[in-house]
Amino acid sequence: MSVVLQQFARAPVPGRVKTRMQPALSPGEACALHEQLVLWTTRSLLQAHLGPVELWTAGGGDHALFQQCLSEGVSRLCVQQGVDLGERMQHALTAGLQKAGRVVLVGSDCPWIDRAYLELAVQALERDDIVLGPALDGGFVLIAARCALRRGVFDGVSWGTDTVLAETLARAAEAGYSTALLPPLQDIDRPDDLAAWRVLLAAVSGSGGRSGGGALGFVGTDP
């Protein structure tokens, strides 16, 4: 069954991205971190070779960062549509399922999503309608689907809180969908997460780096 990989990302504007990193990071540093994570995620999806990669943007699809992602192999840039995150995800997933039998959607905050994790999601879709990759903070870093989702799955979810995963699971069950959970992963959202990010960068540097990673100009700013 064919697979489409989708990535959500906001345009990197200082003061509008990674705001929870402030004041540990300046607006400019937080924005640079956001750009690094967007590129990291894009490259992880492309290197997985599971299907075409779509980058769904918000805040300005013509930004140089998104054009770089396009030049590196992203199949197309799409504009997120909806009044909240739930509507935007539902729209993207529905669009993906018009082209493929499986859709896997990720954000740009979790650099631990790799080919093996994505493959787990695709495999789980053989049994269940919806697959979620939990985040350690109570949200989720990945959602995958094999059928169009009704709006009720995302209605009333308290986005940005530690109950996002639990609320989404409850609404999916109420709507009659079967669900599966992947192993939880950490995302990079708050100053406390920066230590794990630096450890990951050090590990990658020590192993010779990832493909294209040297071009990112990573910073390991201390909180």
Contacts of 116 (CB under 8 A, 6+ apart): none
**Residue 217 confidence (pLDDT) above 70:** no
Distances (CA, A) of 16 to 45, 92, 161: 25, 22, 18
Provide mean pLDDT across the span 205-218. 52
Report which DSSP code applies to 20: G
pLDDT at 54: 98
pLDDT tens per residue, range 131-167: 999 999 999 999 999 999 987 899 999 999 999 999 9
pLDDT at 218: 37
Measured CA to CA, the distance from residue 57 to residue 102 in angstroms comes to 21
Provide mean pLDDT across the span 17-33. 97
pLDDT: which is higher, 59 or 213:
59
Provide mean pLDDT across the span 187-200. 96
Q: Which two tokens stand for residue 137?
A: 């903070």
The gap from C-alpha 20 to its chain's centroid, in whole angstroms, comes to 17
Q: Which two tokens stand for residue 7?
A: 């990535």
**Residue 110 confidence (pLDDT) above 60:** yes
Of 40-49, 56-65, 122-131, 181-190, the poorest mean pLDDT is in 56-65
Q: Is the pTM of this model over 0.75?
A: yes
**Range 67-91 burial, b when 16+ CB lie within 10 A, else e:** eebeeeebeebbebeeeebbebbbb
Q: Which helix (H) or strand (E) holds 5?
A: strand 3-10
pLDDT tens per residue, range 58-68: 998 889 999 99
Strands of 102-106's sheet in order across: 76-79, 53-58, 3-10, 102-106, 140-145, 130-134, 179-181
Of 2-16, 113-127, 141-155, the poorest mean pLDDT is in 141-155
